[in-house]
Amino acid sequence: MLPPDHPPVAASGTGVLLVNLGTPDAPTPAAVRRYLAEFLSDPRVVEIPPVIWRAILHGVILRTRPAKSAHAYAQVWTDKGSPLAAVTAAQAEGLQVRLGEGVQVDWAMRYGNPSIPAKLEAMKAAGCDRILIAPLYPQYSGATTASVMDALGDALRAMRWQPAIRTLPPYHDDPAYIAALEEDIAAQMAGLDFEPEVLLLSFHGMPERTLHLGDPYHCHCRKTARLLGERLVQRLPGLRVETSFQSRFGRAKWLEPATESVLENEAKAGTRRLAIAAPGFSADCVETLEELAIRGREVFESAGGERYTTLACLNDRAPGMAMMETLVRRELTGWWP
């Protein structure tokens, strides 16, 4: 006989857990501070010896950055909360509809809420004994993909009865991803009331050092940009496609060219009409809606640019959801029809 509090033994089900970076619970300095403290304490994100970094983080960064970042978040906050969380939730709902009843789809954040351990426990309790973990980062990096796997390992370590796990590989050059971006970007470009001379593909930056340490992130971004750029110039002859890296943080050298410098230099060199897209972000977030759409426009226009637009990320629209369904179904092979 099993004790009365024993979990059900017959549970057998498949789950998919979408994971994105994480975001504050509110656009306030206190909530942003809590989020940044967790995010920036991850040694995968800031690779400085912890004794030195802790002093800088707690002595300087967490005293100044939360107010500045909270201002940025406040400008893009929605009635459903942070855009990153709202879009990730919508993606999970959309994928659930596409996959049907046989699979449970849920979502979690690497930092903040809802957390990976909380969602793993909940899915296991709801009968999932096989779970696909899908980090929504097309390009692999230690700071993102590997960090999700670290958190997953920690969560599993705390479980007596673990589910079986699969993980979604990075998909930076997957034909389904490139095709989704091509279709989505081309449709958005066709709907503009002006014809951009340049399409700038802006990826989140990383310290340049990580490239020399063997992180494939830079190469993954470059390959995505090349494959996508080749497709887009075939469709839109005359368009020039450029690549850059945004969101520089701290004093170290980051991957170049920096998005801000490219926007300024393009305008100064005579480009008048520019569109910017962020193919490395699965969902719109503060980095696209504030840094690109608001501050990027200011940089471009104050250097002489005339027309500027920020294209939306794949979010939960059809091309991105079809891609997600393709990638996830492939990983579920043998687990579920």
Binding residues: 204, 287
From candidates 17, 185, 286, 321, binder to ligand L6N33NVT by CB under 6 A: 286
Element (H, E) at 224: helix 217-235
Q: Omega of the bond prior to 170 within 30 degrees of 0, cis?
A: no
336 φ/ψ angles, rounded to the nearest 5 degrees:
-165, 140
By CB under 6 A, is residue 69 in contact with ligand L6N33NVT?
yes
Q: What residue numbers does the annotated binding site for Fe(2+) cover?
A: 204, 287
By CB under 6 A, is residue 87 in contact with ligand L6N33NVT?
no
Helices H, strands E: what count in the chain? 13, 8
By CB under 6 A, is residue 281 in contact with ligand L6N33NVT?
yes
Residues in contact with ligand L6N33NVT, counted by CB under 6 A, come to a total of 23
By CB under 6 A, is residue 53 in contact with ligand L6N33NVT?
no
Q: How far apart are CA 146 and CA 148, in angstroms?
A: 5
β-partners of residue 111 are 22
Nearer to Fe ion, 174 or 291 (CB): 291
By CB under 5 A, is residue 291 in contact with Fe ion?
yes
From candidates 18, 151, 168, 206, binder to ligand L6N33NVT by CB under 6 A: 206
CA angle 287, 98, 203 (to 5 degrees): 20
Q: How far apart are CA 137 and CA 145, in angstroms?
A: 7
Do residues 166 and 128 touch, judged by C-beta distance below 8 A?
A: no
Single-letter amino acid code for the residue at 123:
M
Strand order in the sheet with 273-277: 240-246, 198-204, 273-277, 307-310
Residue span 13-52 as binding mask against ligand L6N33NVT, x where in contact by CB under 6 A, dash where not: --------x-x------------x--------xx------
Binding range to Fe ion, per CB under 5 A, among 5-13, 124-132, 261-269, 284-292: 284-292
Q: Which does 34 bind (CB under 5 to 8 A by kind): ligand L6N33NVT, Fe ion, none?
A: none
Q: How far apart are CA 242 and CA 31, in angstroms?
A: 36
From candidates 117, 249, 325, 329, binder to ligand L6N33NVT by CB under 6 A: 249
By CB under 5 A, is residue 247 in contact with Fe ion?
yes
Nearer to ligand L6N33NVT, 73 or 308 (CB): 73
Retrieve residue 208's tokens.
């340049």
Q: How far apart are CA 133 and CA 232, in angstroms?
A: 31
Site residues, ligand L6N33NVT (CB under 6 A): 21, 23, 36, 45-46, 65, 69, 82, 84, 137, 141, 143-144, 204, 206, 217, 247, 249, 280-281, 285-287
